[in-house]
Amino acid sequence: MNMFEYLKKSMLTGVGLALRSKSEIEDLAKEFAKNSKMNQDEAKDFLKDCQQKYEDARIGFDKKIEKTIEKILLKLELPSKSDIKALNDRIDNLTEKLSQHK
């Protein structure tokens, strides 16, 4: 693997990519393309690749955060949204039955 490929892969991997802003990634890609003397087509492809990898990393990072939060909530034994809705529905039904008996 040549130095260009190594730098390209290292720039586009990991959680660090997901934590950067989209414009920051685009600026890095443009600067890297300019410094590596890419032609215009290579630079466009590289930028497109960076944007796609950014989206993939961001989505993957979001999913990891969601799973972690779900695990924490399960450990805390907090009621879920559906649990609360079910309880509210039961309360509404009981309230309706009580009001009919008055």
- Kindly report the average pLDDT of the chain as a whole number: 77
Domain ranges of the chain: 3-100
Q: How confident is the model at residue 13 (pLDDT cuts 50, 70, 90)?
A: low
Q: What is the model's pLDDT at position 5? A: 60
CA dist 17 and 58 (Å) reads 8
Q: What is the pLDDT of residues 45-95, one digit of tens each?
A: 877 887 787 788 778 888 888 888 888 878 888 788 899 999 999 999 999
Note the pLDDT of residue 87: 95
Quick one: pLDDT band at residue 37, thresholds 50, 70, 90?
confident
Q: Taking each helix axis from N to C terminus, what angle separates 22-35 and 3-11, rounded to the nearest 10 degrees?
A: 170
- CA distances for 78 relative to 16, 37, 62, 66, 70, angstroms: 31, 55, 21, 15, 10
